[in-house]
Structure formats: C-alpha cells, structure tokens
Amino acid sequence: MVDLPKLDFIGFASVLAGIVFLLTGLLLVVNTGSTIPDPVNPALMNLMGVVTAITGLMLLLARDD
C-alpha cells in the first residue's frame, strides 16, 4: 500500500482553497475570451483570473503538512 500523507484541518483547508482558487482563476481566464468588452474590461478580468490562479497554486504549494 502507498502511505499517503495525513493532513490536519489546516492542511486540508489550504489544499481545498488552493484547488478552488486555481479552478476559479482558470475559468475566469477562459471565459474572458467570450466577454463583450463594453460593460467590463477583458484585460482586467484576464489579470484577475491569472492572479487568482497563481494564488491557488501558491496555496497548493505551501500547504501545511
């Protein structure tokens, strides 16, 4: 059997938050392409998506074991 690392609540919460932030950022970047540029600025939405995805990636990398 493979010994998986055990996560406490803080570690589990940081992994879960990292996944949510990463997926939200990626969806925001993907959906920016189909956004009408009049009501919102697509460049700003794209930047927000990239920053959110990077935040999620940092949470996944810096999880508390």
SS3 of residue 63 by DSSP? coil
Q: What is the pTM of this model?
A: 0.76
**What pLDDT score does 1 carry?**
61
Q: Is 13 inside any structural domain?
A: yes
Number of domains in the chain: 1
Instruction: Give the pLDDT confidence of 8-56 residue by residue, as tens digits.
Output: 777 788 888 899 999 999 999 898 888 777 787 888 889 999 999 999 9
In a domain? residue 43: yes
The parent domain of residue 54 ranges over 9-61
User: Looking at the domain assignment, is residue 52 inside a domain?
Assistant: yes
How confident is the model over 19-28, as pLDDT tens digits? Answer: 999 999 999 9
Residue 55 lies inside a defined structural domain of this protein: yes
For residue 38, is it within any domain?
Answer: yes
**C-alpha dist (Å) from residue 35 to 3, 16, 25, 28, 55:** 45, 28, 15, 10, 23
Residue 38 to residue 22: CA distance in whole angstroms: 27
